[in-house]
Structure 1
Amino acid sequence: MKKMWRKILTITSILSMIVVAGCGTNQAAGTSDGGERVFDVSLPLGEGSHHDEGLKSFKEELERLTDGRLSVKLHYNNELGGEREVTEGMGINTIEMGLASTGPLGSFVKDIYMFDLPYLFKDVNHAYAVLDSEIGEELAKKIEEKANVKVLSWWENGVRHETNSVRAVKSPEDLKGIKHRTQESEVQVDTWRAFGADATPMAWPEVYTGLQQGVIESQENPIPTILDVRFHEVQDYLNLTGHVYSPLPFMMSKQLFDSLSKEDQDAILEAAKLATSTQREASQRLEQEALKKLEENGMEIVQPDLDAFRKAVEPVYEKWAPKINEELIDKVRNFQY
């Protein structure tokens, strides 16, 4: 028995030395020697998207700030995995950088579920003001502590709208019985059930095929995403529900970030900050362009009665605000900007 324990201890010691050696190499490669490095970054959408425009701006700024020593390689259309896999991968340092919706982060930091609450923000300027304030900084800090992921900046996914292949939606009653896909969030499931839909979570890479095969009939996303993924091929109605403003945290493995020199950390943060306005502007511009293209591609654009939708989700706030962080939610809703 003692011999067995000695063997286990010996193996454990060897593994520990390998891990330490690996970490030491990673840190040296980071920048203590001022070496060049290209970071792999995951994005859910393709070339020409608002995700793409933001990251290309970040790449340009990062190369400028570091005289070309640091750069990024973009991996489009979930090439490195779905949003949850990418977020978790950054947490264990198997993925270097990535963009993702806030959906997967709620399981680490319950405050993040706030972003799933419908009609939380009055408009995009309200959202920008909150995310760029101490509230955004505090949320980023919590994500760093709980998920082991560094939020470099709060970018924009956009305002989310519902599409379906069943009927035009002018009031919540029109959603009754429609099979709707949500992200992996209980708040979202409750929201869509409050609207009357038959809601179920589904991983992002499965959504298009699910709609195509009729497993689901409805989904919701920002307008540029709806066009980028070509949902108009499998959906007939774009209903401008505008129910959620969706942030797009630009994130990095905290372990990797911590391994870099202060100089390179500052350059990465500065490049992300400089690219934020470019990415948000691209999101707004592409939304208008995408809306026109979707209509040209045959989607019927519907303007619902939003007051009816806001009223329908009052029970969602009553249930979830105390569970998430009622004080924070009140602070956000009443934020002066």
Structure 2
Amino acid sequence: MKKWKIVSLLAVLALSIILSGCSGTKTGSASGEEHVFDVSLPLGEGSHHDIGLKKFKEELEKSTDGRLSVKLHYNNELGGEREVVEGMGINTIDMGVSSTGPLGSFVNDIYMFDLPYLFKDTKHAYAVLDSEIGDELASKIEEKANVKVLAWWENGIRHETNDVRPINKPEDLKGIKHRTQESEVQVDTWRTMGADATPMAWPEVYTALQQGVMDSQENPLATILDVRFYEVQKYLNLTGHVYSPLPFMMSKQLFDSLPKEDQEAIMKAAELATPVQRDASKTLEEESLKKLEEEGMTVTKPDLEPFREAVKPVYDKWAPKINKELIDKVRNFDY
């Protein structure tokens, strides 16, 4: 009997040691632990991405007395957007912000955001993203990509730049070598308007423009300024063709491993940071336009109606392939 008690005691002690060893900060299996999450940003300090994440950091630290925090990794330090999304999916990257470009390969509905002139304005976009539509899209991303969407932030309204000529009408794009994100919808959009469109990973774009491999690209104004595209692009054309969301995401595996109180703190901090990030995007857009003009870019404000007409074939082709019912719901959303 004594021998049995000794064996049992040793077994209990061994189990206790094993369990205690499984409660490190990476597993989050116990409350009260400290954790610093690594976060990927495509842009640099002072960008609208950075402002949103610093607000998130502030709110997260405040609500957890500094127990939870983040470390920001700027300018694709952890990899391009697709690599970051895939990294979160397999839990090798904690958190990140990204354009929706890489998410379409996981959730077909996401290609909707690549359609030109989908939203009337930013208020329309916010209303859709903050509704059940945004929630449903987030759930699909979580299921298919194994990534938790913490909030729908703003990348901005995208405009075209090039080093060939001003763009006053769609026909002016003919023959221009234009870089798109890795999206067939975007490729078709620009080819429909006459450009020679080719998808290219984000980290390669500046060099491609610099070397003349590409003539043209499109991005929000704050991004164009942040990346210093004015050094390799002369013409800024305010085509306003796409509203680009910026999903703020986290590894689902990591999120699920955390205690409920930490999950709630993360979600609340992301929610509080959302209006700050969106406001920063608007402010930086206005400031960036002035600065880009000061840097010598020639700014063109074309009539957008011919562009909307030109891209109708893109909707004819892609709406049935993506989700026509969803697209119609978004375009006709009451806000």
TM-score (ref. length: structure 2)? 0.93
Percent identity over the alignment is: 79
- Select 1:328's aligned residue among 326, 329, 334: 326
Q: Give yes or no for contact 1:29–1:35 (8 Å, CA) kept in 2.
A: no
Alignment coverage as a number of residue pairs: 318
Which residue is 1:71 aligned to?
69
Which residue is 1:12 aligned to?
none
Please tell me the residue identity of whatever aligns with 1:74. L
Which residue is 1:32 aligned to?
30
CA displacement, residues 289-331 of structure 1 (integer Å, 9 cap, x when unaligned): 0000000000001011210100000000000000000000000
CA displacement, residues 186-245 of structure 1 (integer Å, 9 cap, x when unaligned): 000000001110000000000000000000000000000000000000000000000000
Which residue is 1:220 aligned to?
218
Which residue is 1:304 aligned to?
302
User: Which sections of structure 2, spanning at least 5 residues, go unmatched?
Assistant: 1-17
Which residue is 2:6 aligned to?
none
- Residue pairs, 1:186-197, within 5 angstroms: 186-197=184-195
Q: What is the Cα deviation at residue 65 of structure 1?
A: 0.9
Which residue is 2:288 aligned to?
290
SS of 2:333's equivalent? coil
Which residue is 1:232 aligned to?
230
- In 2: Cα distance, 1:329 partner to 1:207 partner: 30
Please tell me the residue identity of whatever aligns with 1:211. L
Which residue is 1:115 aligned to?
113
CA displacement, residues 73-107 of structure 1 (integer Å, 9 cap, x when unaligned): 00000000000000000000000000000000000
- Residue pairs, 1:1-337, within 5 angstroms: 24-25=22-23, 29-30=27-28, 32-337=30-335
Q: Give yes or no for contact 1:92–1:148 (8 Å, CA) kept in 2.
A: yes
Q: What is the Cα deviation at residue 32 of structure 1?
A: 1.0
SS of 2:109's equivalent? helix
- In 1: Cα distance, 2:263 partner to 2:39 partner: 16
SS of 2:37's equivalent? strand
- Change over 3 Å in CA distance of 1:226–1:28 after alignment to 2: closer
Q: What is the Cα deviation at residue 29 of structure 1?
A: 4.4
- In 1: Cα distance, 2:294 partner to 2:179 partner: 25
Q: Give yes or no for contact 1:241–1:304 (8 Å, CA) kept in 2.
A: yes
Please tell me the residue identity of whatever aligns with 2:261. E
Q: Give yes or no for contact 1:27–1:260 (8 Å, CA) kept in 2.
A: no
Which residue is 1:16 aligned to?
none
SS of 2:61's equivalent? helix
Q: What is the Cα deviation at residue 24 of structure 1?
A: 4.2
Please tell me the residue identity of whatever aligns with 1:254. K
CA displacement, residues 161-196 of structure 1 (integer Å, 9 cap, x when unaligned): 000000000000000000000000000000000111
CA displacement, residues 15-62 of structure 1 (integer Å, 9 cap, x when unaligned): xxxxx99x9455774151411110000000000000000000000000
Please tell me the residue identity of whatever aligns with 2:118. L
User: Which sections of structure 1, spanning at least 5 residues, go unmatched?
Assistant: 1-19
SS of 1:107's equivalent? coil
- In 1: Cα distance, 2:262 partner to 2:98 partner: 23
Q: Which structure has more helix as a fraction of its residues?
A: 1
CA displacement, residues 130-184 of structure 1 (integer Å, 9 cap, x when unaligned): 0000000000000000000000000000000000000000000000000000000
- In 1: Cα distance, 2:109 partner to 2:23 partner: 36
- In 1: Cα distance, 2:269 partner to 2:92 partner: 23
Please tell me the residue identity of whatever aligns with 1:287. E
- In 1: Cα distance, 2:191 partner to 2:26 partner: 52
- In 2: Cα distance, 1:192 partner to 1:49 partner: 27
Which residue is 1:6 aligned to?
none
Rg comparison, structure with higher value: 2
Please tell me the residue identity of whatever aligns with 2:306. A
- In 2: Cα distance, 1:29 partner to 1:221 partner: 37
- In 2: Cα distance, 1:218 partner to 1:130 partner: 30
Please tell me the residue identity of whatever aligns with 2:66. G
| Deviant stretches of 4+, over 4 Å | 23-29
